[in-house]
A and B are shown apart, each in its own frame.
Chain A
Amino acid sequence: MNRIKRGAVNSGMSRLWGWNYSLIPTGLLSAGMILTASFAWASTPEAEPGSKDLNKLSLEELMKVEIATVTTASKREEKTIEAPATVIVITANDIQLRGYSTLKDVLRDLPGMDTRGYYFSEDGTEVAVRGIVGNNKIVVLVNGMRVNPPGGENFPFRNDFSVRNAEQIEVIYGSGSTLYGRDAVSVVINIITRKPSKNAGLEAGVAGGLHNEREAWGIFEGSLDKAGNVRLSGSLQYHDSDLTRLDKEYPGWWRDHLDVARPKGAGLTPERHDLGINGFMRLEAGDFSLQTWYRESKRSSSESMSPAFGYIPEAIWEDSSFVTEAKYVAQISDQVRLDSAVTYNHYRVDPSSRYIWEDSTRPNSWFYNDYKYANGSSYAVEETVRVDLTKDLSLLAGVVAATYDVVPKCTVPGGAHGSLDEIMGEGGSFTYYMSDGSGPYTIPRVWHEIYETYGGYLEGDWQILKTVKLIAGARLDKDTRCDDLSFTPRAGLIWNAADTLTVKYKFATAYISPAPYFADNVYQNTTQLSTVNSDLKPETSRTHEVDFNYNIRNFQLGLALYYGDQDKLIQISDRNLPLNEVETVYLDPGHTQPISLIRSANGGTSHNEGMDLYGRATIGTVSPWFSYSYTRFEMDCNGVTTGLQGISEHNGRVGLTWAATSKLFVTPSFAIRSTPANTDAGALGDELHTPWEAGLYVLYNLSRSVDLFADIRNITDHHYALAGLYGTAVPQETLSGVIGMKARF
């Protein structure tokens, strides 16, 4: 019998760096190239347990591989079904067989999620979770490192977040501030990357297709020393597309746009672009790790408000994030483990970003919104200690300190250049007069916030009986801008009712900090002048949840029933609610130019309730999965009750992976949802009704190291629309797709 010979390959790394990545920081790139060059002496003949390709592992190595556990729900390793929350795990195998490229592709297939593409340029895809809208209510981690923008901006889900290098994606539903602090309201998503191997390895892939969509990525791993104690891994993805043109696909909607555009003399040609770059690097040396994550996006700001919003080439939104973390894990004894982490997080909006929309007061010209700018950074230190007091009782304690230096999104008429002081000077200020004749009053266009946060948490995990586990914990956070402390407790009871059935109850709480993005939202449009609100308070939420997990042989079924309530809602200034309005002021001392002075404010309560039913199975050569989600949402504010905010009450998904042969894997999928609620259909009335989409992914193993694939999205070219930022219907992508190949060395 033949033995598998595993030879290490450490050539060809330089090809990875041949792409156009001019926008990546020079420092990151240089470090990457230097470290990559050092692979020359890195190889050893053994693979490492946990690497993606289990089939290359020896028997001894396979015996070290741990089976399905999660680490995000309790900041410790535990079985998925025993985690104190609804947990969905997407494995590297799922990613490979379903053809996921970016994080938004994964989220689109998850129960409880209502994803809306082209929602708004800053957000990309909007991800409502269990009825709660707001990408700022989602915490995203990479190997436990928080990558949300530090200014509290909505998390961007675009083509700039690759999952090609993910080993596992853990999705923890519901309030999660006890362990993760601010903003963990609707879900915590942790992308766990492949663990660096001792062996040098390289994966590279390219894809291209309709709408000029192009993708290229590379993944590398290896050791920097012969013993394999210092290991490095990383990935780089480039993804761009012209997106759907939308003029032929949605002619009625496009005619509406042209009616506005023709007199203005521009915007008559569909123009939409979406470019994303994502890089990651991780160095491991014994108990020490250093990881860096970078993303950037350049995208037409032509989304959401109405057909007249955009289609002007200068309407571009461009931003980037750079996050790096150094971590040390100390196993002090068999019972005590201490994790120390220092994290730096930077987010920046490029000064060339701007919006251009219809100017209702001047029919022959567009309104060129002033150039946008934002720049924020944070430094955070976290110490976490876990103590196993007995076999059945353990404690987790942590302290966190962070400082923030944030220029929230603002407008600078001529574009931002130079130092912060210079930019503040360039921005100038808005001036207004009160109706009583007083004034002038000024509001600086560029706001600058420096503040700190401190937090501490303690949680116990007690196996009361053989089949019953209790967790209880609480956290206190202090934001130096707020007088009050944020208190976020949680408790959970997990009962293994039978070998095949686990029942969980969880109560959890969360809060959203009054981020500068909301509190210092300064801008002026044709009818409104938005000012800061220094008194903005944290928004709070609570979740009750009961989960049933049924696992038998090759079938898994989950049912989650939840009820949540939220109060002190942060209502962003342009929601145009009565509480947002301060008063009518005037732009001139003669009181001839009235304008509404508005600001973000706390107000109202809301509650969400519903269920997620989901399952997966393996039947012969077929692995089907499905989910059905039902959600209700009500918000009471200023005596007005509103329902779901542009999302659907019912969401259903079904798909399967079929191993047609040992080399050919076919994955069709289908998603359908009820007509989005509270959405202005405009010219898209037909397209808004019961949106659905079918997709097909085919993977063919051409040889041991080469795969070919075809990914066809919206294969039936079904035209449908979903709600955008302001509740108006937005057309979704029509038929699109790529073919590509990837190779492993």
Chain B
Amino acid sequence: MNPFTVDRLRSWISVLLVAGWILGVFVTPCKANPIAVSEYSVKAAFLNNFIHFVEWPLSAFPDPGAALTIGVLGDDPFGPLLEQAVKEEKAKGNGVVIRRFKSVDDVTSCHVLFISRSEKERMFLILKRLEEVPILTVSEMEGFADHGGIVNFYIENNRIRFEINKESAYRKGLKISSRLLCLARIVEQKSVKEAR
């Protein structure tokens, strides 16, 4: 290699490295960014996780060996992601079953129900129909938890967060773990008047 070329390159490298690395010595550590994944793969993982932090009344299971059912009401945003999320649960204990419902009238023997945005117009009706039923209702619509839904997803700083309406869960006979509540934003039930 031509010595002149080597010298010039060394100078460049020296200047750049010294500038970069010395500055680095005095800085706050920067954690590398986590790899981003699709919104619904994360929400599916949350749904799969929720079942470990909720206790259902015995009446919610027709027999002791019954599987736990996760349902999706309305347009399904998950596709195969939900099946993937629960595949390990399925192999254990009584297992988990995924069901999809077109109408709230079809919802039977379900333990977790994700209510799709497509049901926004019918949200109050659905919540009213399920008011006394021991189903953990989950959605991603503004005002869902305020108006009687139990868990509502929202996005903050590119991360999935959720809010919980404890009162609503209590009315349905569901017991939510304090660990889950600690991570949630707790919302109060709005009165019927406010809801209207």
Which chain A residues (158-190) contact chain B, with CB distance < 8 Å? 167-168
- State which of B2, B20, B45 has its C-beta within 8 Å of the C-beta of A338: B20
Check B79 against A659 for contact (C-beta < 8 Å): yes
- Chain A residues with Cβ below 8 Å from B183 are 59-60, 63
A50 to B52, CA, bound (A): 21
Known pairs A57-B45, A657-B79; list 20 more (Cβ under 8 Å).
A1-B53, A49-B34, A59-B53, A65-B159, A67-B39, A67-B155, A77-B158, A93-B37, A330-B27, A332-B28, A403-B9, A452-B9, A618-B40, A618-B76, A621-B83, A659-B79, A662-B83, A662-B96, A704-B87, A704-B91
Which listed segment binds A: B10-18, B123-131, B186-194? B10-18
A197 to B19, CA, bound (A): 31
Q: State how many angstroms separate the Cβ of A25 from the closest Cβ of chain B.
A: 22
What residues of chain A have their CB less than 8 Å away from a CB belonging to chain B? 1-4, 48-50, 54-55, 57-60, 62-71, 77, 79, 91-93, 97, 167-168, 192, 194-195, 284, 286-287, 289, 328-333, 337-340, 342, 379, 381, 383, 399, 401, 403, 405, 450, 452, 454, 553-554, 618-623, 657-659, 661-663, 665, 701, 703-704
- Chain B residues with Cβ below 8 Å from A1 are 51-55
Check A663/B88 contact, CB under 8 A, given A553-B75, A620-B76. Answer: no
Check B37 against A67 for contact (C-beta < 8 Å): yes
- State which of A59, A97, A661, A704 has its C-beta within 8 Å of the C-beta of B180: A59
Check B77 against A554 for contact (C-beta < 8 Å): yes
State the interface size on chain B (CB cutoff 8 A). Answer: 72
- Chain A residues with Cβ below 8 Å from B48 are 55
Check A662 against B34 for contact (C-beta < 8 Å): no
- Chain B residues with Cβ below 8 Å from A704 are 87-88, 91
Check B17 against A703 for contact (C-beta < 8 Å): no
Check A661 against B83 for contact (C-beta < 8 Å): yes
A701 to B93, CA, bound (A): 17
What residues of chain B have their CB less than 8 Å away from a CB belonging to chain A? 1-2, 5, 8-9, 12-13, 16-17, 19-21, 23-24, 26-30, 32-42, 44-46, 48-49, 51-55, 75-88, 90-93, 96, 98, 100, 116-118, 155, 158-161, 179-180, 183
Check A331 against B27 for contact (C-beta < 8 Å): yes
- Chain A residues with Cβ below 8 Å from B81 are 93, 618
- Chain B residues with Cβ below 8 Å from A332 are 23, 26-28
- State which of A67, A623, A701 has its C-beta within 8 Å of the C-beta of B158: A67
Check A68 against B88 for contact (C-beta < 8 Å): no
A64 to B159, CA, bound (A): 7
A195 to B37, CA, bound (A): 12
- Chain B residues with Cβ below 8 Å from A661 are 83
A50 to B33, CA, bound (A): 9
By beta carbon, the residue of chain A nearest B156 is A63
Check B37 against A405 for contact (C-beta < 8 Å): no
- Chain A residues with Cβ below 8 Å from B92 are 2
A92 to B42, CA, bound (A): 13
Q: State how many angstroms separate the Cβ of A660 from the closest Cβ of chain B.
A: 9
- Chain A residues with Cβ below 8 Å from B83 are 621, 659, 661-663, 665
Check A4 against B13 for contact (C-beta < 8 Å): no
- Chain B residues with Cβ below 8 Å from A48 are 34
Check B159 against A618 for contact (C-beta < 8 Å): no
Check B37 against A65 for contact (C-beta < 8 Å): yes
- Chain B residues with Cβ below 8 Å from A338 are 20, 23-24, 27
Check A342 against B17 for contact (C-beta < 8 Å): yes
- Chain B residues with Cβ below 8 Å from A619 are 75-76, 79
- Chain B residues with Cβ below 8 Å from A2 are 52, 92-93
Check B20 against A450 for contact (C-beta < 8 Å): no
Check A168 against B9 for contact (C-beta < 8 Å): no
A658 to B83, CA, bound (A): 10
Q: State how many angstroms separate the Cβ of A190 from the closest Cβ of chain B.
A: 12
Q: State how many angstroms separate the Cβ of B102 from the closest Cβ of chain A.
A: 10
Among B37, B53, B92, residue most surrounded by chain A Cβ atoms (within 10 Å): B37
Check B49 against A58 for contact (C-beta < 8 Å): yes
A59 to B45, CA, bound (A): 9
Among B5, B51, B93, B100, residue most surrounded by chain A Cβ atoms (within 10 Å): B5
- Chain A residues with Cβ below 8 Å from B155 are 67
- Chain A residues with Cβ below 8 Å from B29 are 286-287, 331
- Chain A residues with Cβ below 8 Å from B39 are 67-68
- State which of A55, A92, A403 has its C-beta within 8 Å of the C-beta of B88: A55
- State which of A59, A67, A450 has its C-beta within 8 Å of the C-beta of B159: A67
Check A554 against B75 for contact (C-beta < 8 Å): yes
By beta carbon, the residue of chain A nearest B51 is A1
